[in-house]
Structure 1
Amino acid sequence: MQRQWTAPAPADREDGGLPVLPELAERFAGAVDRTAPEPVGGSAELRDAACGYWSRRGLWTDPAHVVVAPGAEPLLLALLASASGGDVLLPRPCAAWYAPLVRLVDRRAYHAPVPAECGGLPDPFALLETVRRIRAEDGRPRMLLLSVADDPTGTVAPPELMHEVCEAAVAEGLLIVSDETWRDTVHHPHGTVLLSPAEMCPDDVIVLSDLVGAFTPAGWPSAIARFPATERGVELRARVLSLLTAVRSGLPAPVAAASAYALDEPPPVRARTAAAARTHGAVAAAAYRALTAVGALCRPPQAGRHLYADLDELRGVLAARNITDSVELERELSGRLGRGVAGGHRFGDPPHTLRVRLSTLPLLGAADAQRQRALDAPDPLELPHVKEALAAFDTGFRALIEDGG
């Protein structure tokens, strides 16, 4: 029997987000009377700010190699449409929005599995095998899209794996697109080594980062891309700009002003970024303990605001409740937890798997005031509303697998 189409899972941005940083709001409000449209691809000020941001992370960049767009989705779409055809390789699992954009430009997407606790990087041997399979089917593998600090798994790729994957991809002639949206959300930055593929293969990597990951509210979409300083990079950037211009895809002036301020990383921004990473890390660790205590497999979260849980070890118990795949698991958990969760089928995993992505954001509270208290607290786990949210989280999973649930 053919499965019915299911509506997209509620996006994390529908949970609101963290309270807007006051200094960021001031920059936004100060630009509301600017009536002239921002240049497509970003103003000189904004591109300079992006260069400073990357330079502080060891990636020297010239403004001529930068493009800014209203969100990672339109930026990646323009990039896919501008590249010279061919098939796209994706990790499995990967961010839910990757594959639909590949299909939208009439390209084929192939998935290569990600080893446990390895960020959004595929196993290098599986990657090479996938490339060989594509070519055996008369395909043309051209691009590899990956993420070093991963959505959906919340893990960070180890440097040794990064080297192996980059070497394999470059040897096979693949252009690497590195989604680094979550790189500034590492929970324990002093104990986690995070490298960009652009540090290893500067001529073969386009870096993409959505500011919504660490800096700006979800309602102010802004993303930046860094192109290689090569002839191919210059040509590809020009094509992307042409497409963005055709659809008038520039940032509104208030968003551009706020984005430039955020990318300059003054003390208030740095403090907020650190507080958010610390708070999400504490809550994610508590949720991880709750998941593993009931028998779920889960990759220890290292970055971002997501956990990726595998309940296959509980398949027998769940089957007794008519839960046999990730579609049914998504529906059941959304009801039990009182908010939308996303099954693994939305991230490239086969539907028969019992995997689900969970967000830590709702555990910080439902209102801005509660989330601000969580950000300000030395230990957010001691706050009553966070304790209550984590208790409900634990109860929801325990009731799912216990008799009478």
Structure 2
Amino acid sequence: MSEKSATLAINEQMQEYVRNGVPVINLGFGEAGLPVLPVLRDLVAAHSALNAYPAVQGAVSTRRAIAGYFQRRSIPADADLCLLAPGSKAILYGLLASIPGDLVLARPSWVSYAAQAEHLHKNVIWCQAPASAGGIPDPQLLPSVLEEARRSGFDPRVMILTSPDNPSGTVASAEQLRALATTAESQDLVVISDEIYRDLAYDQAGYTSVAELIPDRTVVTTGLSKSLALGGWRLGVARFPATADGQALHDRFIALASELWSGTSILLEPVVEYAFNESPDVVRRITRSRHLHSTVSHAIYQIFRDAGAAVREPTGGFYLYPNLAGTGLARRLGAHTDGQLSATLMDRFRIATLPGSAFGDLPERIGLRIVTSMLYGISDEQRLATLDAGDPLSRPSVSQGLERIREVVLSDSPS
């Protein structure tokens, strides 16, 4: 693995276009697209004199806040088995490094899972996601996929589930998770539940975590990059099972973390504590953000539906994953692979997307990962106005972006 992450590469490309004044419809980089909640900025300023090295796993009060967050979601959590780290991506890598065996993933999956496994010399065992929701292996297919993998000499030991999912913007059902939990138990798989988008699931009451079903074999990861738009602050957290195996995994992880990143920025620990204690202002911001993401995602979803794409209706986060094979758009642009279509949209129309093959999908399916949250505006003032708008679709940046997407995706001869 010698290439930069596809998501980070496209973000840097978009930043270069902005610096050069080139207008681009950015549907490529998975950033929440909203300003920082003011109280969190104030917390950083108030604690900016702190400069001591932190505890590797985080302060006790911070870990208690994290444990409380999980407990309020019916996930058993012990503060001594919770931790924070500089981003959930670092946690995921540390977990994969600390758990032996090969990795089971849905196809498609977020770009970094397979890339991290490759860096760690682990095999990836792909299982197609079901038609109804991405982020999970199809429960009906998984047992036979695992059987075939073992016959081929692989050693499946850990499975990552993502709900809501990136790239599809969908939430796995409780029934699907129950079936996967049964397979995980019978096949002795450790489950990593990546719930970085959990608080952006549109139906919070109907959300189920696999950690509610099999808490003793599930590690849950999340963070503040999506729900509170703090991607650049690099704040991730994890909850480990309260079992002997969970304690051993936690201890191996902490040993690795102590050599890799020492600890999370101490001046940001109060932010984590405040956010995971879920004060009313935090809850209000996340609730409003969730509504905005849902509104804009559904508007773009309808455009791709009108274009004849196979696309799941979004149920969480700010993504869509249309498959455009056989559509008029693919034919008009002469695209036979996802890479060709993504490149043409960028080169001819300045619409940035990521091809599905970056997420492990098959290029001939012509899947594109569409980010809907970068249409909210360029400045913080514009983004906040979009967040506060009664009708966000009427905001200039959103309406103009939708109009351009509609023109290119649906027009017989877009310009």
Asked whether the 8 Å contact 1:365–1:389 carries over to 2, the reply is: no
Q: Is 1:238 aligned with 2:236?
A: no
CA deviations 1:195-214 (Å, max 9, x no partner) are 11111111111111132121
CA distance in 2, matches of 1:155, 1:113: 15
**Number of aligned residues:** 395
Once the two structures are superposed, the pairs formed by residues 58-137 of structure 1 within 5 Å of their partners are 58-83=74-99, 85-137=100-152
CA distance in 2, matches of 1:336, 1:259: 43
Asked whether the 8 Å contact 1:17–1:218 carries over to 2, the reply is: no
Asked whether the 8 Å contact 2:133–2:170 carries over to 1, the reply is: yes
With 54-63 and 231-240 compared, the bigger mean Cα shift is at 54-63
User: Which of 365, 371, 379 is the equivalent residue of 2:377?
Assistant: 365
Asked whether the 8 Å contact 1:42–1:67 carries over to 2, the reply is: yes
SS in 1 for 2:77: coil
Once the two structures are superposed, the pairs formed by residues 108-187 of structure 1 within 5 Å of their partners are 108-187=123-202
SS in 2 for 1:117: coil
CA deviations 1:9-44 (Å, max 9, x no partner) are 424668683111001111111111101122111111
SS in 1 for 2:70: helix
Amino acid at match of 1:209: T
Asked whether the 8 Å contact 2:6–2:111 carries over to 1, the reply is: no
Q: Percent identity?
A: 31
Asked whether the 8 Å contact 1:207–1:227 carries over to 2, the reply is: yes
CA distance in 2, matches of 1:16, 1:337: 23
CA deviations 1:334-354 (Å, max 9, x no partner) are 345535311100111012220
Amino acid at match of 1:195: T
Q: Is 1:352 aligned with 2:367?
A: no
Asked whether the 8 Å contact 1:216–1:259 carries over to 2, the reply is: no
CA deviations 1:177-197 (Å, max 9, x no partner) are 11011110022435xx11111
Change (3 A) 1:53 1:6: closer
Question: 1:66 Cα deviation (Å)?
Answer: 0.9
Asked whether the 8 Å contact 2:51–2:267 carries over to 1, the reply is: no
Residue ranges of structure 1 left out of the alignment (5+ in a row): none
Match of 2:400 in 1: 388
CA distance in 2, matches of 1:15, 1:151: 12
Asked whether the 8 Å contact 1:163–1:200 carries over to 2, the reply is: yes
Once the two structures are superposed, the pairs formed by residues 1-400 of structure 1 within 5 Å of their partners are 8-9=6-7, 10-11=10-11, 17-83=33-99, 85-190=100-205, 193-314=206-327, 318-319=330-331, 321-335=333-347, 338-399=350-411
SS in 2 for 1:349: coil
SS in 2 for 1:88: strand
Change (3 A) 1:80 1:301: same
CA distance in 2, matches of 1:246, 1:64: 20
Amino acid at match of 1:65: L
Question: 1:64 Cα deviation (Å)?
Answer: 1.0
SS in 2 for 1:313: coil
Question: 1:362 Cα deviation (Å)?
Answer: 1.9
Change (3 A) 1:94 1:357: same
Question: 1:216 Cα deviation (Å)?
Answer: 4.6
CA deviations 1:156-182 (Å, max 9, x no partner) are 111111111111121111111110111
CA distance in 1, matches of 2:220, 2:5: 31
SS in 1 for 2:140: helix
Question: 1:101 Cα deviation (Å)?
Answer: 0.5
Amino acid at match of 1:8: A
Residue ranges of structure 2 left out of the alignment (5+ in a row): 12-27
Asked whether the 8 Å contact 1:112–1:123 carries over to 2, the reply is: yes
SS in 1 for 2:161: strand
CA distance in 1, matches of 2:221, 2:111: 16
SS in 1 for 2:121: coil
Change (3 A) 1:14 1:111: closer
Change (3 A) 1:16 1:118: closer
Amino acid at match of 1:87: D
SS in 2 for 1:311: coil
Q: Which has the higher relative contact order, 1 or 2, with Cα contacts under 8 A spaced 6 or more apart?
A: 2
Normalised to the residue count of structure 1, the TM-score between the two structures is 0.93
CA distance in 2, matches of 1:154, 1:196: 16
SS in 2 for 1:254: helix
Asked whether the 8 Å contact 2:29–2:371 carries over to 1, the reply is: no
CA distance in 1, matches of 2:93, 2:207: 26
